[in-house]
Amino acid sequence: MDTRSRTLPAHISDKVREMPETSYGSTRVIVTLDDGSRVRDVHVAWATEVVRVGQQDDITFDASRVVNIELQSPA
């Protein structure tokens, strides 16, 4: 069972709310984790939940570790 959290910290969710949606209810972003690593093509639903990375539904990081977020430009 995957116990990783998909819920972003509240202060990160606030930043996502200020970003434009890339599709209905979803924002495509780049996240920076607490160890400095960056993950691209992260899809956040309703500014609170990581729902996909790229085309994968499996999330390879705990969303509570996100320390910064930026809007990803369209490909």
Q: What is the reported pLDDT for 2?
A: 56
- In SS3 terms, 39-50 reads as EEEEEEECCCEE
Q: Where are the domains of the chain?
A: 10-71
**CA-based R_g, the chain, Å:** 11
Alpha-carbon gap, residue 16 to 14, rounded angstroms: 5
The structure's pTM equals: 0.89
Contacts of 5 (CB under 8 A, 6+ apart): 62, 63, 64
The string of pLDDT tens digits covering residues 11-67 is 999 999 999 998 889 999 999 999 999 999 999 999 999 999 998 888 989 999 999
- 55, 47, 39, 52: which is closest to 10 by C-alpha? 47
